[in-house]
Amino acid sequence: MNYVKTAFLLGLMFALFMGVGYLIGGESGMIIAFFIALLMNGISFFYSDKIALSMFKAKEVSEAEAPQLHRIVDELAAEAGIPKPKVYISNINIPNAFATGRNPKHGVVAVTKGLLDLLDRNEIKGVLGHEIAHIANRDILISSLAAVIASAISMLARLAYFANIFGGNRDGGGIGNLLATLIMIILTPIIAMIIQLAISRTREYAADEKGAKLARNPLYLANALKKMNSFAKAKPATEEDINPSATHMLIINPFKKGGLQALFSTHPPIEKRIEKLESMAL
């Protein structure tokens, strides 16, 4: 079901780009915006692992340095039918984890020192199952594709904005009058962002489900999420701990959440994630 929803949302976002792009940018503007967005996000896609690992100051660890961690990753990768990802540890005391790499052959899983200190072996296995599910599901590719389309829509909106300011909408073309154009310019990037966030949340649910199956016990991840959520509430991360722009990569949001921040989160409510996992155990 999660895969169908993701495909539907991606299709909806692409339809928004094609329809609105044609109206406010014309065919040429639409093509230019798409290829500029593709170039910008393509660089990020191919270097996503290096960028992420650098942001968290994560270091690769050998089997001799982290034997238990490597054994868990070995088991989960074999269960998922993918090459074993590289294993990294970040010296951050906030319990968290992430996966990166543009495809399973270039997969990387990383955990923080705080996660290793907080969780037991089964809970670590649940977390790593989630991250390996992201790699097996090619979620980096999916999120990158969504980012390309969303960026292209925002770019078209900016092009239309400047065209109306400097062109004065003299031709009366595009979507008709200036007011309608301005409304379209304002709303389309917001709609694209909402769809992009919905895709991200759907992929998190899918990774929870698949990760629980890989670990062969959904309660491993459910219990891990409970512990990490309690830690985040008691000791929310600061910008000195973690770069807020990297929050979407992590298994949970380590920052204090509320108001619009919760509304525009890349992650589903953690309580719902735990509820779904616990229902799988029944």
Catalytic positions, written as ranges? 131
CA geometry: angle at 221 spanning 50 and 219, to 5°? 165
CA-CA distance, 84 to 90, in Å (whole number)? Answer: 19
CA-CA distance, 256 to 236, in Å (whole number)? Answer: 5
- On whether the CB atoms of residues 152 and 17 are closer than 8 A, the answer is yes
Buried b vs exposed e over 69-94: b needs ≥16 C-beta within 10 Å? bbebbebbbeebebebbbbbbbebeb
- Burial degree of 217 (CB within 10 A; 0-12, 13-18, 19+): middle
In the chain the first and final C-alpha atoms are separated, in Å, by 20
Chain length of the chain:
282
Please list, in sequence order, all residues whose beta carbon lies within 8 angstroms of the beta carbon of residue 17, skipping any fewer than 6 positions away. Answer: 30, 34, 149, 152, 153, 156, 192
Please list, in sequence order, all residues whose beta carbon lies within 8 angstroms of the beta carbon of residue 1, skipping any fewer than 6 positions away. Answer: none
